[in-house]
């Protein structure tokens, strides 16, 4: 990351980058498993076509109804996995996270097609 920020590969800059990396605080207590990350990666790839589908639905068939739902989560999520959950919900055009309730889930604003037509 340091090299992306500075675009400078001189020995002095490399030493500065390494020193900064050692000085930054770390979070060693990670509760994430490989299975959790695989599920997130699969969801990301599934969300891309879903986002296009929803975008075209909104363009060609207007959505006039709104609803706030609670999307439940299982167990306590690490900050990184919570970020990806929120990203995936917000990535699709019909949904956006309005609130994160730590022990319950995500409060999500959803738009829907009118039930009359």
- Strand partners of residue 70: 107
- For the stretch 9-65, pLDDT in tens is 888 888 888 887 777 766 655 677 888 889 989 999 999 999 999 999 999 998 899
Domains in the chain, number: 2
Whether the predicted pLDDT of 94 surpasses 90: yes
Pair 69, 25 in one domain: no
- pTM of the shown model: 0.67
CA 64 – CA 68 distance, rounded (Å): 14
* Cβ atoms of residues 85 and 106 within 8 Å: yes
Question: Residue 8 domain-assigned?
Answer: yes
Question: Residue 117 domain-assigned?
Answer: no
Pair 63, 14 in one domain: no
* Cβ atoms of residues 64 and 114 within 8 Å: yes
Pair 45, 96 in one domain: yes
- By three-state DSSP, how is residue 89 classified? helix
Distance of CA 36 to the CA centre of its chain: 14
Q: What percent of the chain has pLDDT over 90?
A: 39
Domain that holds residue 24: 1-29
Give residues with Cβ within 8 angstroms of 49, minimum separation 6. Answer: none
Pair 90, 59 in one domain: yes
């Amino acid at each position: 990351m340091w090299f992306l920020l500075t675009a400078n590969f001189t020995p002095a800059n490399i030493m500065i980058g390494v020193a900064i990396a050692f000085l930054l605080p770390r979070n060693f207590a990670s509760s994430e498993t490989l299975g959790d990350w695989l599920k997130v990666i699969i969801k990301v790839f599934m969300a891309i076509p879903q986002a296009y589908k929803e975008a075209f639905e909104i363009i060609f068939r207007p959505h006039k109804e709104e609803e706030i739902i609670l999307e439940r989560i299982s167990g306590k999520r690490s900050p990184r996995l919570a970020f990806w959950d929120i990203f995936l919900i917000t990535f699709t055009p019909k949904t956006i996270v309005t609130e994160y309730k730590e022990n319950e889930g995500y409060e999500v604003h959803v738009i829907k097609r009118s039930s009359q037509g």
